[in-house]
Amino acid sequence: VQLVESGGGLVQAGGSLRLSCVGSGYNFVAYSMGWFRQAPDKAREFVAAIGWNSVTKLYADPVKGRFNISRDNAENTVYLHMNNLTAEDTAVYYCTGGSLSRNSEHHSFWGQGTQVTVSS
């Protein structure tokens, strides 16, 4: 199983980024997908999750209305569209695969992470 994230980088406050994650080595469509993040000296936190058919989406309160999670099952890819970024969004973002849950323990697969840095 492999999850490979891309799209991170440095962006100014108020800007946008789109993270991508390609899954391989498992039945992508059978799993919900998610994103977590970890800022320096902070605990890892849930960001968003999406069900296998994109009907159900979950968001953490700090990102609601600014971030959008989507997936393309034909491409084994999940996306995180991030808008109106703030310095508080600076973190390493991890792609996950598992259950549709805010609990990290319910996510079986994890990527290596991609750094997002928002300059104020």
Residue 55 φ/ψ region, left for φ over 0, alpha for ψ in the -120 to 50 degree band, beta for the rest: alpha
Q: pLDDT at position 118, please?
A: 98
Q: pLDDT at position 120, please?
A: 87
Q: pLDDT at position 42, please?
A: 97
Mean pLDDT for the chain overall: 97
d(CA 49, CA 68): 10
For the stretch 12-28, pLDDT in tens is 999 999 999 999 999 99
d(CA 85, CA 50): 21
pLDDT band at 76 (very low <50, low <70, confident <90, very high): very high
d(CA 113, CA 38): 9
Nearest to 109 by CA among 94, 92, 97, 95: 97
